Structure 1
Amino acid sequence: MPHDWNAERFDALYRDSADPWALEGSWYEQRKRALVLASLPQPRYRFAFEPGCAQGLLTLELAARCDRLLAGDCSLQALDAARQRLRGQPHVRFAQTVLPEQWPAGCFDLLVFSEVLYYLAPAALDVLIDRVLALPAGPLTLLACHWRHPIEGCTLGGTQVHERLRAALPWTHACAVHDADFVLDAWTRGSGASLAAQEGRL
């Protein structure tokens, strides 16, 4: 299957609709965001990176859990909408990013890949995983959440993306959610203990 998702295609989607994935007002999306937030093992993070932020609905909720947050998207129209949604929150910064080429500088302790990695060609996903593995040492949480059903123009589906992540990441697998429609996984680097163990509950 040819891989035909690129920045131009995303721009075209946002020209046709301000909400191309019907994120606004969806209980499915609201529930999924709640599960994403509940799956983060730490209550707060110093510096997070969320590529593929779209209109910023998840970004808004992540902002409450982060001292600093960098939200990226390849679509300038999406970034403009996200900026408007998070206006008045100076700890959130926005940048146009095309992954994996435009990986931002920063010592992140949280990476959130929500509904974005299946838009990469397999070779590009491998490059991105290598970039993640090369990040400076220190505590790090990586959360990924993706639609399980086929997407036109995507070589990989969400299930395949997560299979590749599980095979490549040598970190603690902290959480897994297998919903009928999406798959969610979280990994932590730098702490092998479970959250209950960290709190002395074991």
Structure 2
Amino acid sequence: MSVTSHYFDGLFQNSDDPWAFRQRWYERRKRAMTLAALPRERYTAIFEPGCANGELSVELAGRCEHLVCCDTSRRAVNLARKRLASLSHVDVLHASLPQQWPAGQFDLIVFSELGYYLDRQDLHRWIDRALASLTPSGQLLACHWRPAIDGCPLNARQVHGILAERLQMHRLLTHREDDFLMDLWSHDATSVAALEKLG
């Protein structure tokens, strides 16, 4: 069974930053690497599910014309809305995925630290919804913590394995560390240098 919203509500009940996104160098470095991994300087529309308190969302907002982010925890959504209040091109939604998927098409979906909270059935449904909402040149970036997390149905290796099998897209980037996995898939295989007609 997928982890329920009560788990995340509990995490945010006593802290506005339960994973120490702002304090930990690990988290700040991972955000920088996530942004650096994106092959395009600008995107038309980005979707960030599981946005938590909006720390990564702020950075993604600077890379797109429209950002949609969501979280299953009402407290997290309120914190993210406050964090992003000055950005008129950002929508923060309260939603449980994969059931409550936002409308619209996205040329980037950022699937960060979320997949292992879903069971296999919900992850497959999540991928179905993602594929249906990606544009013909759309991309999906996945990043997940590698050590096992108590109570989670899946681990990072399983999540990225299922993504690779189901997406059937070009894998433009793979990064492996003891701490996390990062992969970026794209419908379009053109490299950054080729896009700028270098070489």
1:89 maps to 87
Q: TM-score, normalised by structure 1?
A: 0.94
Task: Specify which of 144, 147, 150 is matched with residue 149 of structure 1.
Answer: 147
Q: TM-score, normalised by structure 2?
A: 0.95
**Is the partner of 1:139 in helix, strand or coil?**
strand
**Is the partner of 1:90 in helix, strand or coil?**
coil
The structure-2 alpha-carbon separation of the partners of 1:137 and 1:26, relative to structure 1 and needing over 3 Å to count, comes to: closer
Q: Give per-residue Cα distances to partners, 1:159-187, cap 9 Å, x unaligned.
A: 11001111111111111110110000111
Distance 2:134 2:59 in 1: 26
Matches within 5 A, 1:62-77: 62-77=60-75
Is there any run of 5+ residues in structure 2 with no aligned partner, and where? none
The structure-2 alpha-carbon separation of the partners of 1:135 and 1:84, relative to structure 1 and needing over 3 Å to count, comes to: closer
Deviation at 1:27?
A: 0.6
Distance 2:11 2:195 in 1: 45
**Is the partner of 1:127 in helix, strand or coil?**
helix
Q: Are positions 1:195 and 2:192 aligned together?
A: yes
Bigger mean CA deviation after superposition, 163-172 or 4-13: 4-13
Is there any run of 5+ residues in structure 1 with no aligned partner, and where? none
The structure-2 alpha-carbon separation of the partners of 1:47 and 1:27, relative to structure 1 and needing over 3 Å to count, comes to: same
Contact 2:108 2:134 in 1 (8 A): no
Distance 1:52 1:193 in 2: 29
Q: Give per-residue Cα distances to partners, 1:36-59, cap 9 Å, x unaligned.
A: 000111000011110100011000
Q: Give per-residue Cα distances to partners, 1:40-92, cap 9 Å, x unaligned.
A: 11000011110100011000000000100011000110011111111211111
Q: Tell me the C-alpha RMSD between the 2 structures.
A: 1.3
Distance 2:146 2:161 in 1: 12
Distance 1:59 1:137 in 2: 20
Distance 1:115 1:133 in 2: 19
Matches within 5 A, 1:116-155: 116-135=114-133, 137-155=135-153
Code of the residue aligned with 2:192 in structure 1: it is L
1:28 maps to 26
Distance 1:21 1:181 in 2: 15
Deviation at 1:130?
A: 1.5
Quote the sequence identity (%): 46
Distance 1:59 1:25 in 2: 16
Task: Specify which of 46, 49, 62 is matched with residue 48 of structure 1.
Answer: 46
